C-alpha cells in the first residue's frame, strides 16, 4: 500500500535511526499460526484471493471492482489500509473507489503471477522480532517473538494456496516497532461471530476444533501459563473474554 508523503518521510527517518541488519528466516512457518491473533486482515486478503479464483474469464474490470466492493476485502481496505495510510481519501467517495479499483486490479495481477511463477522470493516478506512481553496498540500483551511486518498480500497468497512460509521467503527484522492489532479494527465492521473468531484465534496457539474461547483459553492456559496469559489479554483487548460464572 502506497503511503502519504508525510507517512513515507516519517517511516524513512525511523528506519534510518533504528536500522539493524535483517537475517534470513530460520525455518518454515505456518501462515495461519503466524497471523493469529493480531492480523485477521491477512485472512481477509486470503479470502479475497479465493474470491478472485472464481471470477469468470474475460470479466471487465468494472464488474470485478463492483463485486469486490461487497466483499470483506473492501472493509479491510477502508478500515485498515485507507484509515491508516491515506485517511483523507475516506472523505472523497470518488477517490476511494478509484484507489480501491487500483488495489483490486493489482491483487488480481499478483494472483496471476503467483499462479504462473510461484512466490517471488526476490521480494521476501518482512517479519518483526521482539523480546520480552510487548503491548499492542490495543493493549494486548504479546509474549511471542515473531510478528507480521510487511508483505500481507504475499502471506495471504500462501495462506490461500495452503503453502507454508519457507525460510527463503522471509527476512527477520529486529528493529523495534509498535505491534499493530488489525483484528481489533475489523471485528466490529466485519461482524465476526464467536465461532469465526475462535477459529481464527485458536490457530495462533496451535489448536483446532474449539467451539468457544472459554474452552480454548482453559486448554491453552493449562498447558502453558505464559501463552494463557497472552491469550487472555488478547481476548480482553478484543472484548471477547469469557464472562465469569456467577
What pLDDT, on a 0 to 100 scale, did the predictor assign at position 246? Answer: 47
Residue with the three cell numbers 509498535: 178
The three-state secondary structure class of 170 is: strand
Lowest-confidence pick of 6-20, 45-59, 64-78, 178-192:
6-20
CA–CA separation, 74 and 107 (whole Å): 13
Q: Is residue 212 part of a domain?
A: no
pTM of the model: 0.90
Residue pLDDT, tens place only, 163-198 = 999 999 999 999 878 899 999 999 999 999 999 999
Within a domain: residue 83? yes
Is residue 222 in some structural domain?
A: no
pLDDT confidence band for 26 (50 / 70 / 90): confident
Is 168 part of any domain? yes
**pLDDT tens, residue by residue, 130-148:** 999 999 999 999 999 999 9
The reply to whether 216 falls in a domain is no
181 part of a folded domain = yes
**245 found inside a domain:** no
Q: Within a domain: residue 104?
A: yes
Which residues, in sequence order, are CB contacts of 29 under 8 Å at separation 6+?
Answer: 146, 164, 165, 170
Residue 172 DSSP code: E
Beta bridge partners of 179: 136
Domain interval for residue 143: 22-189
**Domains held by the chain: number:** 1
- φ, ψ for residue 110 (rounded to 5)? -65, -40
Amino acid at each position: 500500500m502506497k503511503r502519504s508523503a508525510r507517512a513515507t518521510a516519517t517511516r524513512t527517518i525511523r528506519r534510518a535511526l533504528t536500522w539493524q541488519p535483517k537475517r534470513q528466516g530460520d525455518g518454515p512457518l505456518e501462515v495461519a499460526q503466524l497471523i493469529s491473533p493480531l492480523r485477521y486482515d491477512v485472512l481477509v486478503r486470503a479470502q479475497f484471493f479465493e474470491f478472485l479464483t472464481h471470477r469468470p474469464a474475460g470479466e471487465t474490470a468494472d464488474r470485478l471492482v463492483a463485486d469486490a466492493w461487497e466483499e470483506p476485502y473492501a472493509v479491510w481496505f477502508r478500515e485498515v489500509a485507507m484509515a491508516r495510510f491515506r485517511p483523507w481519501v475516506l472523505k472523497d467517495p470518488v477517490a476511494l473507489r478509484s484507489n480501491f479499483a487500483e488495489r483490486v486490479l493489482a491483487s488480481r495481477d499478483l494472483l496471476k503471477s503467483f499462479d504462473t511463477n510461484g512466490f517471488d522470493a526476490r521480494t521476501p516478506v518482512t517479519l518483526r522480532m521482539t523480546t520480552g512481553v510487548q503491548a499492542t496498540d490495543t493493549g494486548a500483551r504479546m509474549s511471542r517473538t515473531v510478528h507480521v511486518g510487511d508483505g500481507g498480500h504475499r502471506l495471504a497468497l500462501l495462506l490461500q494456496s495452503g503453502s507454508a512460509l519457507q525460510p527463503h521467503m522471509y527476512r527477520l527484522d529486529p528493529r523495534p516497532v509498535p505491534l499493530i492489532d488489525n483484528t481489533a479494527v475489523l471485528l466490529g465492521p466485519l461482524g465476526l461471530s464467536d465461532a469465526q473468531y475462535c477459529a481464527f484465534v485458536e490457530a495462533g496457539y496451535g489448536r483446532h476444533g474449539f467451539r468457544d474461547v472459554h474452552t480454548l483459553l482453559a486448554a491453552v492456559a493449562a498447558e502453558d501459563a505464559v501463552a494463557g496469559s497472552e491469550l487472555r489479554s488478547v481476548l480482553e483487548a478484543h472484548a471477547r473474554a469469557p464472562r465469569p460464572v456467577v
